[in-house]
Structure 1
Amino acid sequence: MTGSRTVTTRPAGRRALLVELPDAEHTAAFHAALLRRRAAGSLPPVAEIVPGARTVLLDGVADPEALAREVAGWEVRPGGDDDGDVVEIAVRYDGPDLADVADRWGVAPDEVAALHTAPTYRVAFCGFAPGFGYLTGLPEELHVPRRATPRTRVPAGAVALAGPYSAVYPRSTPGGWQLIGAMPDPGRLWDAARERAALLTPGTRVRFVAAPDVPSGVTG
């Protein structure tokens, strides 16, 4: 599939360009390509690169029209990029929605961990709360809907699923995702004292690993 068939662009101000893509996987692949080219010095100067669910905003561009013509010819191939940092996150798979997710997947609850830890994920974009990364990489047959009734409180460290995404809640907030487990050390996700406060930033690859079976404290 060629970039000219998947990438569309439109102006977003005098010095900005909005690139639109068909889905989260193509968006993540396009964002990764931008970062590679910028690191290699083959991308025209761009002040900010901000990925979303199906868009990437390029801000601070000297010539948006020229850049639009360039990216229109790029090939965007989801799933073939193995560049970027890898963060390993241990998970206790004992969340309150584990049985419901297992039922949707057609497996026993103790098989959910093996299926969830098999892929390598990538942070497609961040939003909702500081440090909350939307991770792509979950196979389509494992996508699950959001809960019909959101919870008023989801604890920090909860590992969750919604649609095509996995995520880890960096702080206690309301939320409607399916909770399958918990990260024992959620303080890693956001630390304002670090040079890069968020552990999970766009482009970061993530691997989940099953932690020892210790109660997580995540309740319905």
Structure 2
Amino acid sequence: MNGPGRAHALHPGSATVRAAGSHALLVELESGEHAEAFHAEVLRRRDAGELPGVREIVPGARTVLLDGLDDPAALAGELPSWEVPRLEAGSGPLVEVPVRYDGADLAEVAALWGVAEEEVGRVHSGVEHHVAFCGFAPGFAYLTGLRAQYHMPRRSTPRTAVPAGSVALAGPYTGVYPRSSPGGWQLIGTTRSTLWDPDREPAALLSPGTRVRFVMEDG
């Protein structure tokens, strides 16, 4: 994205708009950062009443799905002229997630980062994370925020069962497993927070656009 306060035009080539059924559009963006900014702009326009009929807005890694459109063809024609402001830090609700940095892959992550094991938690909790999109399982959020030097490869051999509450890294993302499931992410810690509760409103603790602070707890 451009510098602070600048806007990014959806010029031809920066976004591909595809029909998704008779009342939806799938917008493919050139980067995850661009997709997050575009998602925020869609929400702003919807809240301002500029997108009548939109029933659902679903962000992905580099896509945003707009469903329930009255005239998807007309919107598809307008999108190239949109100016999408840079996503500013500090926007969106803030959720704090307590973490014990005691994960099974802590030593491997520390080695790949070139830091001591106790530094992994300080690095990870020292930045504000942002929910880019959700998927994989109910309540599972993909969080961005770590600098590129801290991006992590997935495990070469996935685990058959990752405990619920595990805080993990893969690629540019942090994720917290809402329930026990197979997984190939690098485990760095555990949280006592409940990520998904169907009896809670909303059921998901983390939703797209939420800011997240991981708070270190004693092991």
Give the structure-2-normalised TM-score. 0.90
Q: Deviations over 1:41-88 (max 9, x none)?
A: 233331111111111111110111221233222334555253211111
CA, structure 1 residues 78+177, in 2 after alignment: closer, same or farther (shift >3 Å)?
farther
**Contact persistence 1:26–1:77 (CA under 8 A):** no
Q: 3-state SS of the aligned residue for 1:72? A: helix
> Which residue number corresponds to residue 82 of structure 1?
90
- Matches of 2:175 and 2:84, distance apart in 1: 24
- Matches of 1:158 and 1:146, distance apart in 2: 15
- Indicate yes or no: 2:149 matched with 1:141: yes
Q: Deviations over 1:8-31 (max 9, x none)?
A: 211112211110012222212211
> Which residue number corresponds to residue 210 of structure 1?
216
1:108 paired residue among 116, 119, 126: 116
Q: State, as a whole percentage, how many aligned pairs show the same letter.
A: 62
Q: Which runs of 5+ in 1 are unaligned?
A: 215-220
Give the structure-1-normalised TM-score. 0.90
- Matches of 2:126 and 2:83, distance apart in 1: 27
Count of residue correspondences? 211
Q: Deviations over 1:80-108 (max 9, x none)?
A: 25321111111111111111111111111
| Aligned 1:1-220 pairs, distance under 5 A | 1-4=8-11, 5-76=13-84, 79-183=87-191, 185-186=192-193, 188-212=194-218, 214=219
Structural RMSD (CA): 1.6
- Matches of 1:80 and 1:148, distance apart in 2: 35
Q: Which runs of 5+ in 2 are unaligned?
A: 1-7
Question: Higher strand fraction: Structure 1 or Structure 2?
Answer: 2
- Matches of 1:146 and 1:75, distance apart in 2: 35
